[in-house]
Amino acid sequence: MNRMKLRIALLQLLPGDSLAEQLFIGKNACERAKSMGADIALFPEMWSSGYHIPQDAEDVNAIAICAENSFIQTFRALAQSLEIAIGITFLEKHSPRPRNSILLFDRNGQEVLHYAKVHTCAFADEKMLSEGEAFYVSNLDVGKGIVKVGSMICFDREFPESARILMLKGAELVLAPNACPMEINRLCALRTRAYENKMAIATCHYPAGQPDCNGHSTVFDGIAWLPDEPGARDMCILEAPEEEGIFVAEIDMDLLRNYREHEVMGEKYRHPEKYGAITGQRNLLHADDTQMQCPTTI
């Protein structure tokens, strides 16, 4: 029986100066990803504008595009013609303000996932944007089988709830476009999200040369231990250098699924009835702590 090996291409690219240039660079990159045997091609965050967010409402709305725009529809057609899934990221036209979004097309050109960034960086340029409303998981047909896929975008990774919700909805793979410097702490956050939820996380960044970016796109396969090997293993199966390029990682989906079935993280030993402080339920967060004190010795 053939094992299901999923190949993901991270398009760590420098953007151009216009939507037309983004389209030209992006099309060429998808074609190269296909020639490298990729099943999925993923762009860095907000590729349509090169993560450029004007700080004037009229200007930011002027460069926002809708899902029906020819830019997006070209990638839909490209996914179908190349028979490769494409995660295209864009500044999405939306009311009252644009959104930071990703659309995932499958190898037949069908839209399978449309996600807008929930945790916008409202303390910085993204104060001009609207937040997304929820996290979603969809079935992605990659020809070899179905993969349950969701998305986080950049700052989403700093909130454990993002990945936990995706895990609870069944996500096996999380596509995570990004546009910020990837240093050890952010990389550790991604590793932790993959570890605690037994999921693969593929993160695509801009390379060095893009302001406030330094490459280091990564894929964590979510498998911390192998049954026949002692000790822990490195879940990072790809970390790109700073330079521009297309980097492909291969995830063994059968191995991941077996690991998810038998290991203890994820949902198996959760106690959601005790998590009122983060679920909004009434709880004993401020209750008298004397119940936890040791009794007096007589």
pLDDT at 15 over 50: yes
For 163-183, how does the pLDDT look when each residue is reduced to its tens digit (9 = 90+)? 999 999 999 999 999 999 999
Q: Which of 10-14, 42-46, 202-206, 293-297 is predicted with the least confidence, judged by mean pLDDT?
A: 293-297
Q: What is the mean pLDDT of residues 118-130?
A: 95
pLDDT at 239 over 70: yes
Which bin fits 236, alpha (ψ -120 to 50), beta or left (φ > 0)?
Answer: beta
Compute the distance between CA of residue 54 and CA of residue 263 in angstroms, rounded to an integer. Answer: 46
Compute the distance between CA of residue 123 and CA of residue 92 in angstroms, rounded to an integer. Answer: 20
Q: What is the mean pLDDT of the chain?
A: 92
| pLDDT for position 274 | 87
User: Does residue 194 contact residue 265 with C-beta atoms inside 8 Å?
Assistant: no
Neighbours of 277 (CB within 10 A): 11
Place of tokens 């993280």: 265
| pLDDT for position 228 | 81
Res. 231 pLDDT band, cuts 50 70 90: confident
| pLDDT for position 230 | 85
| pLDDT for position 278 | 80
Structure tokens at 75: 């990638």
**Helix intervals (H) in 95-219:** 160-168, 184-197
Q: Give the H or E element holding residue 112.
A: strand 111-116
pLDDT at 77 over 70: yes
What phi and psi, each to the nearest 5 degrees, are found at residue 69? -60, 150
Q: Give the DSSP letter of residue 66.
A: -
| pLDDT for position 286 | 45
pTM for this predicted structure = 0.92
pLDDT at 78 over 50: yes
Q: What is the mean pLDDT of residues 22-36?
A: 98
| pLDDT for position 1 | 61
Q: Give CA separation, 140 vs 65, 144, 189, in Å.
A: 25, 10, 25
User: Does residue 81 contact residue 124 with C-beta atoms inside 8 Å?
Assistant: no
Compute the distance between CA of residue 273 and CA of residue 62 in angstroms, rounded to an integer. Answer: 47
| pLDDT for position 2 | 78
Structure tokens at 100: 């930071």
